[in-house]
Amino acid sequence: MKALLIIAIIICLSFLILVIFASIIYNKYDLDINKLTNLNNGVKVYSSSGIDNTLYNTNRSIVEIESLPEYVKDAFIDIEDKRFYSHNGYDLKRIIKAGLVNLMNQSKSQGASTISQQLIKNALLTNEKTYSRKIQEIVLSIKMEKEFSKDEILEMYLNTIYFGSNAYGIENASKVYFNKSAKDLTINEACCLAGIIKSPLRYSPKLNYKNSLERKNFVAKTMYQAGSISKDEYDEILSSPIELSSYNELDHSYEEEAIFQACKLLNISERELINKEYQIVTFKDDDLQKEVIKINNSQINASEEKTNTNLDSLSIVVDNCGKVLSYYANSNYNLHNIRRQPASTLKPLSVYLPCIIHNILTPASYILDEEIDYNGFSPKNADKTFHGYVTTRFALSHSLNVPSVKALEYLGLNKSKECLENFGILLDKSDLNLNLALGSMKNGVKLSDLLSAYITLANLGEYHGLSFVDKILDKNGNIIYEHSEYSERLFDEGDCFIINNILKDSATNGTSKRLNSLNLPVASKTGTAFNGEKNTDLYNISYTSEHTLLTWIADLKNNYLPDDMYSSVEPTEINKNILKQLYSKDKPADFAKPSNVEYLPYDLLEAKENHRIVSPTSNFDRYIAYDYFKIDNKPIEIDTNDDFDLTIELDKTGATISFSARKNKEYKLYKKIDNETNLLKTIYEQSGKITFIDNNIFKFKEITYYIVDESGKKSEEIKIKPKDYLMNLLNNEISQNKRKWYVKSAFKT
């Protein structure tokens, strides 16, 4: 009896302690009703000129719950919170289940949040995954359930939840994805939107169409199992694609990127950024942005009409300090983190720059463009032609594939990897093969990283990070972030200057020759990615000493492009017209030549015939070429004194004089008798073994021959004694005739 009394007392005390603890926790957190119901706050995004470009979907459009079809509400309730109308803000069964899963996995991955809890978290709390924050979330949900009806809570939730692509609230999400009001959503579209909110990065149809389609069908399955839709409706949803709207009333791609960067700079979520009513001042040039949009749309629309396809494109203009002046994403998909195969745009970064760095190549170096086979890997050039020996300058400016592969094989994959990593382009282990020379990568590259690499080239090896954001201010106008210039030396100026100079050739007579009519000092590189059957991506990256431009074109839905689209045409034409607009008044300065680079002559004939770069061995201008060389890898001096190979052979007809000639030299053959020297013959524009017969020799006792080239270099002197030779010849003939006579006479006897 006494034991039962003790147990009863312990139970009562425990219950009392629990009640007191719960009361303390309950009273610890206050529900901020004003903040909860203030759903129309937003972030203002200003251009560099001060124009307000606030995103239309951050100032949330409020939709009333009564205007929504029942299936829209059911889609969210069935997938997010089946017992929404029966619980008091939290679902004990889900909490217990989630707790067991987390305990088994030793993680906090399962949150078991109800719609009420999600609303509290989105409107009032952070995304921090802690038990104390979870308790606060539950307490505030309970309090909210006492203040508002279920429909009021659902309405606030649908107007608050984030759907990706900077779309907050179901009304804005409907406009962003389907260009319609939420009240006009179909069941299929409602399932798509309900599926996104679990993870917008993973399930947004603009980012991951396949994942979004699977998630949409899973939502439909959940609705069917809950009895919210019929079997026929379920089957129709399963067979229906997600038809995204291509309509874009106003372009906000720049502002979206600015918000992404602001969140990263402040280390907060987009929801927190918007709820705090921050103001973002950007580097956006409004006039330039309008022109870029017009130029891009004009070319893309014409191409779409010609090819009957839907294209995605991106055009970016950055000053070479990294400030983004214009950013236009002409796509139904969010291109922020998209990774694509860089194709030939990688060649300068992965092959030619490291070859210049390690003194393996100069712009004048020759590479044999021929059919090759590396264990079954037999790359071909885009023009399906092998060009024989070509210079590095020609190979890169015309984007030949075979020389690029050969150069990488000689360079070594590790040196290429090191160079790319310095640019911030990381490789997978499987990328370390000769396909890298053609820009083939397992995970591709972010377009922003590719752009940053070319900005580094434009800056002669100095890195500047891309920046959309100039300042961030709080709602009271206090500056909480201000951009400061940051640069880092990654590569030697001379190495980058040489690559830039070669790529200027690309813009005059290479793959980007459409730019030639601009008459600007501009470097450029094209790229065409290929999936084994068809082209998938087209690039043009063009840059001056002041600005860098990237235009990219693809068809993300089909992942292949029409056969009659080329990187040398569409993206190059877009960049050409942007450059024309950008430099309509003033031309940019040329790339400044560093002190460790010299413009030097080299022997063109030696380069073509023997494929070595040497200082001129001739004074003939037509056999002298010029190019840029690093001072530690310039043309070598060679001694040609022994190149004459002069020989003299005598016979009855005279002296046969032979020597080795080079086409780029003039030679004078001299004949010296006693103290008198005469020019016997002048030879030029001939190569190889030259032979000449001097018949006028036998009246002289001694003759000396020698050769002098146009530079004054002299061969060895060769002396002959014609009279002595003739006497010996006659004696030999007499002697031979006597022997023959005696032999014949003996035979007769």
pLDDT in tens, 522-563: 999 999 999 888 999 999 999 999 999 999 999 988 889 998
Tokens 């997978």 map to which residue? 428
Are residues 144 and 258 located together in one domain of the fold? no
Q: How far apart are CA 434 and CA 436, in angstroms?
A: 5
φ, ψ dihedrals at 660, nearest 5°:
-95, 125
What's the mean pLDDT in 112-123?
81
Last residue of a domain, one of 570, 594, 618: 594
For residue 631, what are its two tokens?
Answer: 């001072």
Q: How many domains does the chain have?
A: 5
- Exposure string for 330-346, b = 16+ CB within 10 A, e = fewer: bbbbbbbebebbbbbbb
For residue 521, what are its two tokens?
Answer: 């000092």
The whole-number pLDDT of residue 570 equals 97
Which residue type is seen at 12?
C
Would residue 321 count as lying in a domain?
Answer: yes
Contact residues for 100 (Cβ-Cβ < 8 A; gap 6+): none
The whole-number pLDDT of residue 746 equals 35
Are residues 280 and 150 located together in one domain of the fold? no
Q: Which of 6-15, 68-77, 598-607 has the lowest mean pLDDT?
A: 6-15
Tens of pLDDT, residue by residue over 82-99, are: 888 888 877 777 767 655
Are residues 298 and 183 located together in one domain of the fold? no
CATH of residue 200's domain is 1.10.3810.10
Whether residue 575 contacts residue 542, with contact meaning beta carbons closer than 8 Å, is answered with: yes
CATH of residue 670's domain is 2.60.40.10
Q: Which of 88-97, 450-459, 664-673 has the lowest mean pLDDT?
A: 88-97
Q: How far apart are CA 191 and CA 178, in angstroms?
A: 13
Let me know the angle formed at the C-alpha of 187 by 201 and 68, rounded to the nearest 5 degrees: 95
Task: State yes or no: pLDDT of 389 exceeds 90.
Answer: yes
DSSP state of 612: -
Whether residue 168 contacts residue 271, with contact meaning beta carbons closer than 8 Å, is answered with: yes
Last residue of a domain, one of 533, 567, 594: 594
φ, ψ dihedrals at 365, nearest 5°:
-60, 145
At residue 302, the 3 state secondary structure works out as helix
What's the mean pLDDT in 363-384?
94
Residue 551 burial (C-beta neighbours within 10 Å; 0-12, 13-18, 19+): buried
End-to-end CA distance of the chain: 166
Would residue 524 count as lying in a domain?
Answer: yes
What's the mean pLDDT in 388-413?
97
Rg (the chain; Cα; Å): 40
Q: How far apart are CA 668 and CA 677, in angstroms?
A: 12
What's the mean pLDDT in 317-336?
91
Are residues 158 and 272 located together in one domain of the fold? no
Decide which of 251 and 292 is more confident: 292
The whole-number pLDDT of residue 230 equals 94
At residue 517, the 3 state secondary structure works out as helix
Decide which of 207 and 313 is more confident: 313
Q: How far apart are CA 65 and CA 165, in angstroms?
A: 23
Q: Which of 30-44, 116-130, 506-520 has the lowest mean pLDDT?
A: 30-44
Q: How far apart are CA 330 and CA 315, in angstroms?
A: 8
The whole-number pLDDT of residue 737 equals 61
Would residue 380 count as lying in a domain?
Answer: no
Would residue 259 count as lying in a domain?
Answer: yes
The whole-number pLDDT of residue 63 equals 85
Q: How far apart are CA 437 and CA 372, in angstroms?
A: 14
Which residue type is seen at 725?
Y
At residue 504, the 3 state secondary structure works out as helix
Q: How far apart are CA 525 and CA 549, in angstroms?
A: 11
Question: Whose CA is closest to 355, among 295, 423, 412?
Answer: 412
Question: Whose CA is closest to 241, among 206, 203, 282, 192?
Answer: 192
Contact residues for 576 (Cβ-Cβ < 8 A; gap 6+): 514, 515, 517, 518
Q: How far apart are CA 406 and CA 392, in angstroms?
A: 11
Would residue 355 count as lying in a domain?
Answer: no
Tens of pLDDT, residue by residue over 31-69, are: 767 777 665 556 789 998 887 766 544 555 678 999 999
The whole-number pLDDT of residue 249 equals 54
Are residues 133 and 172 located together in one domain of the fold? yes
Would residue 404 count as lying in a domain?
Answer: no
DSSP result, 139-177: HHHHHHHHHS-HHHHHHHHHTT-B-STT-BSHHHHHHHH
Task: State yes or no: pLDDT of 335 exceeds 90.
Answer: no
Are residues 534 and 617 located together in one domain of the fold? no
Are residues 452 and 556 located together in one domain of the fold? yes
Q: How far is the CA of 472 from the CAs of 56, 260, 273, 477, 548, in angstroms?
A: 19, 13, 10, 9, 25
Task: State yes or no: pLDDT of 452 exceeds 90.
Answer: yes
Q: Which of 210-224, 410-424, 443-457, 608-622 has the lowest mean pLDDT?
A: 608-622
Are residues 162 and 271 located together in one domain of the fold? no
What's the mean pLDDT in 144-159?
89
Are residues 231 and 257 located together in one domain of the fold? no
* Percentage helix, strand, coil for the chain under 3-state DSSP, each rounded to 5: 45, 20, 35
CATH of residue 329's domain is 3.40.710.10
Query: H or E stretch including 34?
Result: helix 33-37
Q: How far apart are CA 128 and CA 446, in angstroms?
A: 28
**What is the domain range of residue 645?**
641-727
Q: Which of 81-85, 119-123, 472-476 has the lowest mean pLDDT?
A: 119-123
Contact residues for 498 (Cβ-Cβ < 8 A; gap 6+): 356, 362, 363, 597, 628, 630
Tens of pLDDT, residue by residue over 475-511, are: 889 999 999 988 999 999 999 999 999 999 999 999 9
Tens of pLDDT, residue by residue over 610-655, are: 899 999 987 788 889 999 999 999 999 887 655 788 999 998 889 9
Q: How far is the CA of 521 from the CAs of 320, 370, 451, 586, in angstroms?
A: 15, 32, 19, 12
Let me know the angle formed at the C-alpha of 410 by 409 and 415, rounded to the nearest 5 degrees: 85
Last residue of a domain, one of 205, 226, 245: 245
Contact residues for 235 (Cβ-Cβ < 8 A; gap 6+): none
Read off the pLDDT band of 600 (50, 70, 90). Answer: very high
Decide which of 236 and 640 is more confident: 236
Q: How far apart are CA 480 and CA 266, in angstroms?
A: 9
Are residues 206 and 84 located together in one domain of the fold? yes
Would residue 485 count as lying in a domain?
Answer: no
Tokens 């508002």 map to which residue? 148
Task: State yes or no: pLDDT of 113 exceeds 90.
Answer: no
Question: 670 - beta bridge partners?
Answer: 679, 706
Contact residues for 363 (Cβ-Cβ < 8 A; gap 6+): 391, 392, 393, 498, 501, 502, 627, 628, 629
E-only strand ranges, 638-702: 647-651, 654-661, 666-673, 676-684, 688-694
Are residues 222 and 282 located together in one domain of the fold? no
Would residue 707 count as lying in a domain?
Answer: yes
The whole-number pLDDT of residue 19 equals 44
Are residues 90 and 118 located together in one domain of the fold? yes
Half-sphere exposure of 537 (CA within 13 A, CB side): 25
Read off the pLDDT band of 743 (50, 70, 90). Answer: very low
Whether residue 128 contacts residue 139, with contact meaning beta carbons closer than 8 Å, is answered with: no
Read off the pLDDT band of 731 (50, 70, 90). Answer: confident
Q: How far apart are CA 349 and CA 409, in angstroms?
A: 15
- Sign for the CA dihedral angle at 226, 227, 228, 234 comes to positive
Let me know the angle formed at the C-alpha of 54 by 48 and 59, rounded to the nearest 5 degrees: 165
Question: Whose CA is closest to 280, among 493, 496, 469, 436?
Answer: 469
Q: For the chain, what is the mean pLDDT?
A: 87
